[in-house]
Structure formats: C-alpha cells, structure tokens
Structure 1
Amino acid sequence: MSYDEELKPEAENDTPLRAGLPAWTYGNAEMLELEYQRVLLPSWQIACHVSDVAAPGSYFTLQLMRDSILIVRDETGALRAFQNVCRHRASKLLEGEGRCKKRIICPYHGWNYRLDGRLAAVPSEASFPGLVKEDHGLRQVDLEVLHGFIFVRVAAADDPEGGPSVADIWGDFAKLLAPYDIPSMERLEESWEDIWEVNWKVAIDNNLENYHIPIGHPGYHRMLDNDLLGEANAHGVAYSISRMKDRPSSNWSERHYQALSGKALSHLSGERAKRWMFFSMPPNLGIDVYPDCVDFFQILPLGPKRSKVRTLVYGHADSRREMRALRYLNGRINGQVAAEDFQLCHRVQQGLGSHGYELGPLSEYETSVRHFHDLIHEAVPGSRLPEPPAPGELAKLDREHYQD
C-alpha cells in the first residue's frame, strides 16, 4: 500500500476542515493566563496511580502552574486531595512524593494537620486569641479514581453540578482499559520530566493526531499498522489502536520487541499481545496502553513558550527476564518517539513566529485538533481574534463574556 493510499480518509466529504487557533495564541502571556483560569483549573488533571499512595501517610504532589495539589492516604485508607498550602501564611507544605507519619507539618511555623486535612496543632496557640482550629483545615480538592489513576480538579466548572465526572467523560471508552487490570499495577521507574521550549498547545496539537506518524515516527511506521483516524466521544476523549506487524522491522529494537513479545506475552488472550492503544483526554493528558506496561503523560504549561512533559510508567510485577527485556525495548522505542516529538514541536513553535503565518486547513485525521481548538475558543473568546490583541484586550473580552 502506498503512502498516499494509507492517508486517504474514508470520509466522503472532501472539504478540508477549517483552521483553528491563530498563530499569536501560541505565545501570548495574557492568553496563557486565561487558559489557566478557564481551561486548566476547571479540568480533571491526572496526578498519579493508587500504588504511589498505597500506605497511610503516603503522599504525592502535583504542580499545576501556580497551584500545588497534595494527594494523601489518610489513616482510614481513604484518598484525599488538598491544596498544598498552609492555612497560616501560605507556605507550600510538602514537595515531591514520600511518606509522612501521622501529621502534615508546615516547614515554616510548624502548623500541623491530620491526614484528613483537619488542623491538629498550632505552636504558641495562645498567641492566636479566638482561633478556631476547625475553621482552618486544608482546603479540599476534588478527587476521583478511574482504573487506578488518580485525577484531581482544582476548580469545579461553572456548571451547577460542577461539571462531568472523570467516569462520565470517559464513558464507554473506559471499558477498553478494564482487561489490563491497571489498579493492581505498580510504578516501574522514576517519574520522567522534560522541559520543552514550546507553548503547551503545540505539544497537545501534536498528540491529538496520528497524521504525522508515517513521516514523523518512522519506527512506529515500520513496526505497527497504525490507525490514523481513531475515534472520539462527545467529551473529546479519543483513542486509536495500532497492531504489531508480522513483518520484522529493519530496526534492532523494534525487531527484537516483535520477536520477544510472543514469548513474554503468551499469557495475554486475544489480540492484546499485539495491540498498542493510545488515548487522549482533554485538555492535556495522554494514556498509552501497551501489552507489557501502561504510561501516562501530561503536558503542563510553564510559560507562554515553555512546557513540562511529565511521564510515569506502570506495570504488573513480573521479574521474568523476557519481560524485563521487553520493557527495556519498549523504553528504547518510545524514547526515540519522544525525541522525535520534541524536535517536531520545536519546529512548529519556530514556524509559528513567521511573519504573517496563518494556520492551514486540517485533515480528517486532525479532527481532534479542531475539537481542542474549539474548546479553547469557547473558554477564551478572544482567541478568535485574527491578530494579536492590544494589552488588556483579552481580559476585557473575557470579563464581558463571563458577565453576560
């Protein structure tokens, strides 16, 4: 099959999809601030896996631009999420991940909180006349678990119901995760983070389409029959399924993965031994399901043209030599893919600064990109402006829109 035949959409409509976000939105500080308020804070953000906070007192922190979120398992075994901020003078309470004993203690003045968030003790409490400790517990953050992954939400949506749950957002697509028993998995390696000098939406756009795989990811093209179109639900969750080719790849890592998978994955039923699934969840999450492991990656903005890509990998306990080798090869293959995405996104960020550039038409294979752009347009009305607005104009449009 030729490259052109592979890329021919099945849709009968030959009209190119309309362009989305103007180039200026990929590097404007005021735009990013509104995206943070209107898109990221009301969205569900993945934090970690239940195994990362398995024992009472274990905790995990997630930094979302200005907001730090603390996930902790309390003494009853319940999972809780709080703003990672002391109620006294706003000091950050905990860093990274780890385990505290029975209290969360502020490193500034020693205010300490029970694992359920209640304020337990205040040094020199008599110097705070009228202090009611019950009024100064840690502020809770919404938390939900889906197939072992812990999601948090800083600010509920404007919807009186607070917006859809994670389960509602995934809908029937969550059933595709069920056979892998993700809740019983454990972390396979330390979390991996990388800084990309690109606007976060550049990286998201890249993740939302498979159109670039045959050219941008030759390894995937050699090794897998890739579904370039995929499927999406009404909430924007999308997935595609790629299947391992029977023909051995010319690349050493890919060829050995193909050969070894039959031995290491003989316990898997049906097509799961040969199936790689790729999921995306708005606005900034990807989950990759391989037969040997599962990972999630999250794209977090750090500035108008700076982002953090955060990845964690999980799998079932399996000390067999074949499985260790298979996971090593998976890491080599997907490490190369990540490096390719890094280069592709930096090329795009550079090109967006070209004088007079306007986004071209989108393919049927880039429908999820259009849906993501629609999400941004709806949340930030000023993003529809064809030219960069004057300072303060975006905020003005935002106030007018949300006051109506």
Structure 2
Amino acid sequence: MTQENIAVYPPDLTLIECPEPTQESNDVEVIHLDDYRQTGLPAAAYTSAHYLQRERETVFSHYWVFVGLASDVPNPGDVLPAEVAGMPIALVRDRAGTLRAFHNICSHRGLQLVNAPCNVQGNLRCPYHSWTYKLDGQLKSTPHFGGYYQDSYDGFDRTAKGLKPIRCEQWLDLVFVNIAGDAPPLEEYLQPVIERWATYDLQQLRREPREVGLTCKANWKLAIENFSESYHLTWVHPALNSCSRMEDHFRFEVGDIHVGQGSLLYKSGVIEGRSLPTFANLEAHHKDTVAEYVTVFPNLMLGVHPDYFLVFSVNPLSHDTTRERMSFYFVGDAAMTPENQALRHLPIDLWQDTNDEDIEMIERLQQGRYSPRFDGGCFSPELEQAVYRFQQMVAQAIGE
C-alpha cells in the first residue's frame, strides 16, 4: 500500500507503538511484560464512525475478508447479497458453476442490484431501469438508454459498464473477498492455518443446517478480542470452564497476522453411550483432549475439535453494531444422520449459551469506551497476548 493510499491520520486516533517481539521458542512468540505497559487502541477505535471508515479503506479492503459460505450458493444461477463492513457485495454462481463476487450495484445509477437470496434463471436485472447483466458480469441490455426504443447511443461503451468484479477465492466451504485486489493468494494467506491443522482431514467436514446468529451493540473488534483470550472463562462461563478451564488453555503461533490458542481439555458430547465420529489419524491423546482456535485476521474465528469444526465470523454494521454468525461442520456422512442430530446440537447449544454470556460483557466493554477516562487499557502478558497482537494489526493496517 503506497503513501498515496493513506489519508492523514487524525490526531485524536493515536496509534499504539509496535515493539519488536523476541523469539524464545519455536512455537510461542513471547512479548515481555514491559511491552504490555503499552496501552491498547484508543476509545475512538470503537466509538468513532470515522475510524470504521478508515478500517473499510484498509483492513476490510486490502486483506482477505471472510464473506460467506459457498454452500449458500450451491447451484448455477444462485445469487446471495452480502456485506463487508457495510460495502454491498453479491456472490454469484454462474452458468459454468464458477463462484464470483461483484459489487452489488447497478452500473447505471448505483441501485443495490440484489436485496435477497435468489436463483436467476436468465440474467440479473436491475428493477429500477431494467438494465440486465449476464452472470459473468457482462452488461447485456440497456432498454431505451439512447432514447425511446434505442438501447444505446454513439460513444456509449457497453463493455465498460458491466458489474464491477471483486477478487474472490474459496477454502473449504469458506468464501473470501479481497476488495482492493492486492492481497497475496488466499492459500498463501491461510498457509499457517493449513499447516497447523494438516493432521485433520478437513475434506471430511459436512455442514450442519442449524446456525447461531445475532446482532450485538458493540464494535466488531470487541467480539474478536473476546474470542482471542481465555482469561475471562472462570467468571463469565462457569459451564464452559467446568469442562475447559482457563488454566487448560495454551497459545501458539500461526504466522505473522493470525493468532491462536488451544485447550488441553476437551470432552466430546455423549448421549446414551454414543458420541459423534472424530477425525481419523489423530493420536489417541489428541483425539480425546485437544481443541484449537485461530483468529484469521481480520474477521474470522475458526475452531477445530476432534469431532467438529466451528466457523465464527463478525461483520460490522456500524461502529457500534456487529452481526455475528456461527456455522458448524461435523466429521463425515455418519455424523449427519437424523439419529445424531441431538449429539450435533450439544456443542451448538454450548456455543450459543457461551455467546449469550459473552454478549453482555462485549456490550459493556463498548459502553466503557464512552468514558473520557478510558486510556486503552492494559494486558496480561501471559493471557492476553493475542488481544494485544490483534490490536497491533489493526493499528498497523490503518495508519502505519
């Protein structure tokens, strides 16, 4: 990103300093206590619409951003409206089965082209003036645009008025977009995660129909920060802490921009002596005990367990309102039988209860940032490294 792309940073949104980390092991980046005397992001990072606009121009434009699930647009002609930080996007499955992303606006007057999921039998048609587009984005017709019964006029360049494409790539069932088109290949971006979880055959995953979704009155970053630390488990999540205690958690490295933590204690759900299928080829102790969680910068949180996979995303609707979505995948066709539905719903129920407990804390964190005495807070050097690192990534992305 060149200096020309960066607007002058306002003085009231001071960035935190970025100390050089020291590497003391092959697995864990250790940031010393002195570094944690730095404050975190200022209150305006959570309460300012201007700050969110800067995030739209940088964080949500120049990085790979999770936008949806490919299985939501499974068939040729399927169209799904989506948003990235308020920017309207359309996911389109074209006639050849290729998944594409476009800015969800008509090239004529900027009308939102699609406002609900649909399957298009012919072409995408703007309901305002009936401009139509092929599913590959080409402009097909512009009725009366040159005058009554004249679809064109001399000098009108139809080829330049197609839908505006967005770079779009897929990993597993997860769809990512790169608005600015300047990120590295998605596989390279996700390589640390892919390598970390190479033991798991993620191709076995099958999507569960039931999801968890909600809207909370808090900035999107607070949801990410909450997911990235286990410090609060003892006091906020008594049920979760009884099966995966704060002290059972550990942190690990997943490249330069993603952060990870795991739990050494995980218990699969059991009903009448039955439990769900687990990933093959996991060592016995790993199969029974370990769960790991990765925050993929900026807006995606993933969790791998011996018997299921969690996809947890956030999307800012405004500077103080966030939409959360949790999707779940289980291991193999056998897990998806009607007989196993109750078993599949056990972890979903636990995540829903846990998230409900988190929401109150996140919304109160948001309220606290309206205090003139909030100074960025401070961080536990052992338990909140991931939060500090995530805030550093945001600060660097928008202004350094």
Structure-1 separation of matches of 2:273 and 2:170: 30
Question: Would the aligned equivalents of 1:190 and 1:312 in 2 still touch at CA under 8 Å?
Answer: yes
Q: 2:95 aligns with which of 56, 59, 75?
A: 75
Matches within 5 A, 1:165-204: 165-177=185-197, 180-182=200-202, 185-189=205-209, 192-204=212-224
Matching residue's letter, 1:91 = L
Overall identity of the aligned pairs, in %:
26
Q: 1:359 aligns with which of 368, 372, 376?
A: 376
Question: Would the aligned equivalents of 1:260 and 1:326 in 2 still touch at CA under 8 Å?
Answer: no
Alignment partner, residue 151 of structure 1: 176
Alignment partner, residue 11 of structure 2: none
Alignment partner, residue 375 of structure 1: 393
Alignment partner, residue 263 of structure 1: 275
Alignment partner, residue 23 of structure 2: none
Q: 1:285 aligns with which of 294, 300, 303?
A: 300
Deviation of the 1:225 alpha carbon = 5.4
Q: Deviations over 1:183-217 (max 9, x none)?
A: 56454226543221112222222122222223322
Structure 1: give runs of 5+ residues left out of the alignment. Answer: 1-8, 157-161, 247-253, 382-400
Deviation of the 1:106 alpha carbon = 1.5
Alignment partner, residue 313 of structure 2: 298
Structure-1 separation of matches of 2:287 and 2:160: 51
Structure-2 separation of matches of 1:65 and 1:114: 26
Question: Would the aligned equivalents of 1:52 and 1:187 in 2 still touch at CA under 8 Å?
Answer: no
Q: Deviations over 1:2-57 (max 9, x none)?
A: xxxxxxx9969554612221223320222222122121122212122332222211
1:138 aligned onto 2:150:
no
Deviates more, 1:333-342 or 1:70-79: 70-79
Deviation of the 1:152 alpha carbon = 0.8
Matches within 5 A, 1:100-119: 100-119=120-139
Deviation of the 1:60 alpha carbon = 2.3
For the residue of structure 2 that corresponds to 1:380, the secondary structure is: helix
For the residue of structure 1 that corresponds to 2:350, the secondary structure is: helix
For the residue of structure 2 that corresponds to 1:54, the secondary structure is: coil
Matching residue's letter, 1:350 = Q
How many residue pairs align between the two structures?
360
1:328 aligned onto 2:345:
yes
More helix by share: 1
Alignment partner, residue 104 of structure 2: 84
Q: Deviations over 1:76-106 (max 9, x none)?
A: 2222111111111111122343321131121
Structure-2 separation of matches of 1:209 and 1:262: 32
Deviates more, 1:335-344 or 1:312-321: 312-321
Deviation of the 1:59 alpha carbon = 2.5
Matching residue's letter, 2:178 = R
Structure-1 separation of matches of 2:339 and 2:243: 19
Q: 1:220 aligns with which of 240, 243, 259?
A: 240
Deviation of the 1:278 alpha carbon = 1.6
Deviation of the 1:327 alpha carbon = 1.2
Q: Residues 232 and 327 from structure 1, CA distance in 2 versus in 1: closer, same or farther, beyond 3 angstroms?
A: same
Q: Residues 12 and 46 from structure 1, CA distance in 2 versus in 1: closer, same or farther, beyond 3 angstroms?
A: closer
Structure-2 separation of matches of 1:229 and 1:101: 51
Q: Residues 174 and 245 from structure 1, CA distance in 2 versus in 1: closer, same or farther, beyond 3 angstroms?
A: closer
Deviation of the 1:292 alpha carbon = 4.0
Q: Residues 29 and 51 from structure 1, CA distance in 2 versus in 1: closer, same or farther, beyond 3 angstroms?
A: closer
Under a length normalisation based on structure 2, what TM-score does the superposition of the two structures give? 0.80
1:50 aligned onto 2:75:
no
Matching residue's letter, 2:396 = E
Question: Would the aligned equivalents of 2:257 and 2:393 in 1 still touch at CA under 8 Å?
Answer: no
Deviates more, 1:269-278 or 1:98-107: 269-278
Structure-2 separation of matches of 1:12 and 1:29: 31
Q: Deviations over 1:203-235 (max 9, x none)?
A: 222122222223322222211256534223333
Deviation of the 1:335 alpha carbon = 0.6
Under a length normalisation based on structure 1, what TM-score does the superposition of the two structures give? 0.79
Deviates more, 1:287-296 or 1:363-372: 287-296
Deviation of the 1:58 alpha carbon = 1.7
For the residue of structure 2 that corresponds to 1:357, the secondary structure is: coil
Structure 2: give runs of 5+ residues left out of the alignment. Answer: 1-27
Question: Would the aligned equivalents of 1:292 and 1:327 in 2 still touch at CA under 8 Å?
Answer: no
Structure-1 separation of matches of 2:78 and 2:296: 27
Deviation of the 1:341 alpha carbon = 1.1
Q: Residues 108 and 190 from structure 1, CA distance in 2 versus in 1: closer, same or farther, beyond 3 angstroms?
A: farther
Q: Residues 296 and 15 from structure 1, CA distance in 2 versus in 1: closer, same or farther, beyond 3 angstroms?
A: same
Q: What is the root-mean-square deviation in Å for CA atoms of aligned residues?
A: 2.9
Q: Residues 192 and 265 from structure 1, CA distance in 2 versus in 1: closer, same or farther, beyond 3 angstroms?
A: closer
Q: Residues 101 and 10 from structure 1, CA distance in 2 versus in 1: closer, same or farther, beyond 3 angstroms?
A: closer
Question: Would the aligned equivalents of 2:200 and 2:279 in 1 still touch at CA under 8 Å?
Answer: no
Structure-2 separation of matches of 1:25 and 1:12: 23
Deviation of the 1:361 alpha carbon = 2.5
Structure-2 separation of matches of 1:267 and 1:45: 27
Structure-1 separation of matches of 2:141 and 2:303: 44
Deviates more, 1:80-89 or 1:13-22: 13-22
Question: Would the aligned equivalents of 2:77 and 2:120 in 1 still touch at CA under 8 Å?
Answer: yes
